[in-house]
Amino acid sequence: MTVFHHVVKWAASHDVDVTMIDERETFLLKPSLPEVALGEKTIGDVTFAVRPVIEPQGRCIRSRVQRIDAVGQRVLLDDETFVPYDTLIIALGAKKDFSAIGGFAGYGYSMCTDILAPKLQHAIQMFSGGDIVLGSAPMVPGNRTPDVPFLKAACEGPVGEIAFRVDANLRKRGLREQSPITCFSPSEVFFDDVGDTVLDQFVLGKTAVSEAP
């Protein structure tokens, strides 16, 4: 959706047809998932139908892309039909490998998807005190763009956001004093892509920070 938003602005003044292909009919506002995890919003509040947004400005196809025919400049869809293109933009996003974290399936929580965020919200609701551990896992970066800075854990801002929100939630419920919060990171510098201000606030809020082994 972000790419589409920028492309259609340019396409409007050129003889260009824009087609978006996605297997989902809805768009998820992922930056709002921490609010879902704390019960401040529902999944319905942070999703919207994409077709009414796309179709006034372009073509919207709901399908998974099965194959890219780079020579023929076309993509194969689920129904075995091909969609031709002059320029192809592949916007996959990041793939979260939860299976790589031992014990996560049985004991861990995440706010990173529309399925997991409500489960975390329920767990926070049921929480009555104890240790809370928050953190990020190592990122496996691509290697096709060598000038992009390497970060062991990219986008750690949400870790800080959920930590601050959990802190506020526990204080309101009178559970903060008996509920230590520890944050971990695979990086030598916590919040390396965010800056020192957030880390300083963590220290002031008495949140423990450690580098994961």
pLDDT digits (tens, 9 = 90+) for 138-176: 877 666 666 766 677 777 778 888 888 999 999 999 999
Provide the pairing of β-strand 26-28 with 47-49.
antiparallel
Is 93 among the domain residues? no
User: By C-alpha distance, which of 158, 213, 160 is closest to 187?
Assistant: 213
Residues 80 and 140 placed together within one structural domain of the fold: no
Residues 136 and 199 placed together within one structural domain of the fold: yes
Is 113 among the domain residues? no
Is 108 among the domain residues? no
Provide the pairing of β-strand 47-49 with 65-69.
unpaired
Q: Say yes or no to pLDDT of 8 above 80.
A: yes
* CA distances to 5, 108, 136, 176, 206 from 179, in Å: 43, 17, 20, 5, 11
* CA distances to 69, 98, 109, 208 from 65, in Å: 11, 23, 30, 44
Is 202 among the domain residues? yes
**Listed residues 84, 112, 137: the one ending a domain:** 84
**Listed residues 20, 49, 84: the one ending a domain:** 84
Task: Give the per-residue pLDDT at 148.
Answer: 67
Residues 191 and 140 placed together within one structural domain of the fold: yes
Mean of the per-residue pLDDT values for the chain?
86
Is 30 among the domain residues? yes
The answer to which of 40-49, 138-147, 174-183, 191-200 has the lowest mean pLDDT is 191-200
Residues 6 and 79 placed together within one structural domain of the fold: yes
Residues 70 and 131 placed together within one structural domain of the fold: no
Is 96 among the domain residues? no
Mean pLDDT of 194-213: 59
Continuous segment of H or E residues that includes residue 199:
helix 196-204
Task: Give the per-residue pLDDT at 3.
Answer: 86
Residues 133 and 79 placed together within one structural domain of the fold: no
The answer to which of 7-11, 14-18, 137-141, 199-203 has the lowest mean pLDDT is 199-203
Q: Say yes or no to pLDDT of 211 above 60.
A: no
Alpha carbon distance 153, 147 (integer Å):
17
Q: Which domain holds residue 137?
A: 127-211
Residue pLDDT, tens place only, 98-128: 888 889 888 999 998 999 999 999 999 999 9
Q: Is the distance from CB of 212 to CB of 178 less than 8 angstroms?
A: no
Task: Give the per-residue pLDDT at 201.
Answer: 67
Q: Where are the beta strands (DSSP E) in the chain?
A: 19-22, 26-28, 47-49, 59-62, 65-69, 74-77, 82-84, 132-135, 181-185, 208-211
> What phi-psi label fits residue 195: left (phi over 0), alpha (psi between -120 and 50 degrees) or beta?
left
CATH of the domain at 37: 3.50.50.60
User: By C-alpha distance, which of 131, 125, 208 is closest to 117?
Assistant: 125
Domains held by the chain: number: 2
